[in-house]
Amino acid sequence: MPELPEVETVRRGLIPAMEGRRIARAEVRRPDLRWPLPERMAERLTGARVERLRRRSKYILVDLDTGETLIVHLGMSGRMLVSGAMLGQFHQDHPAPAKHDHVVLDMEGGARVTFNDARRFGMMDLAPTASAEAHPLLAGIGPEPLGNAFSEAYLASRLKDRNTPVKSALLDQKLVAGLGNIYVCEVLFRAGIDPRHQAGRIAPARAAALVPVIREVLGEAIEAGGSSLKDYRQADGELGYFQHAFRVYDREGAPCVTPGCTGTIRRVVQSGRSSFFCPICQR
């Protein structure tokens, strides 16, 4: 599933084609994705001007001049692809309609934004902009890890006395928004913390030190366009490249990249998810 860097990369890729432009025509080709799509969705989107594209956790929020916000989650395999517009130095022609193109937005100026989702685990909903972040899917989500509210003092206090493994704690969207399995594995490796370590037993100073590491990893991943392992693509259809910089994720049995370390990357399953770590570097 796309995590914060992938969703942020898609958001940034959509801005030139959507922000400040009207949706000349919206086409909804099926009644549902993971859940039913909003009633009269095509009618409500057609003619609306996109005021701003935001991101909250792993959701893209498209604020419209109609007073509504389109909330989008990519799910496991969802893609939002731009065609018919200048992307960098290249013009991307409209491709032939594909089987899993479920929602198509033709923008004024000729760009087209297509939501393609082979597995249909994605979702779209429309909510009043003024209360969009109170939507059931967004309410209760923790602070953004790249924002000021996510501070060293905040994280240290929230991890204190938690009986769950630190890996599970950092995946809790109520604690911090947008972190997923890939980036938590990479963060804990750089911080030298075993993912199985009980969160509440981590010293406050060590817990606080996770904040700059989280920001560093996310920043590098966004700069690389995210990580493409299976379905993820950027808005222009290109792959992300951060997977080439993985230090532990999906490297089971490979030697640790830390100079002088003789360890081998291990994999354990925690709450149904694979955790990758170096048993020597991470304590």
Task: Answer yes or no: 3 catalytic.
Answer: yes
Alpha helices in the chain (DSSP H): 4-18, 41-45, 152-159, 166-171, 181-191, 204-208, 210-223
Residue 219: helix, strand or coil by DSSP?
A: helix
Cβ neighbours of residue 8 closer than 8 Å, sequence gap 6 or more: 55, 222, 226
Closest by Cα among 57, 72, 86, 158 to 117: 72
Give me 96's structure tokens: 């032939």
Catalytic residue selected from 11, 55, 58, 158: 58
Give the whole-angstrom CA distance, residue 183 versus residue 179: 6
Task: Answer yes or no: 2 catalytic.
Answer: yes
The count of other CB atoms within 10 Å of the CB of residue 220 is 14
Catalytic residue selected from 2, 5, 145, 195: 2
Task: Answer yes or no: 247 catalytic.
Answer: no
Catalytic residue selected from 3, 6, 68, 186: 3
Catalytic residue selected from 12, 22, 215, 273: 273
Query: Catalytic positions, please?
Result: 2-3, 58, 273
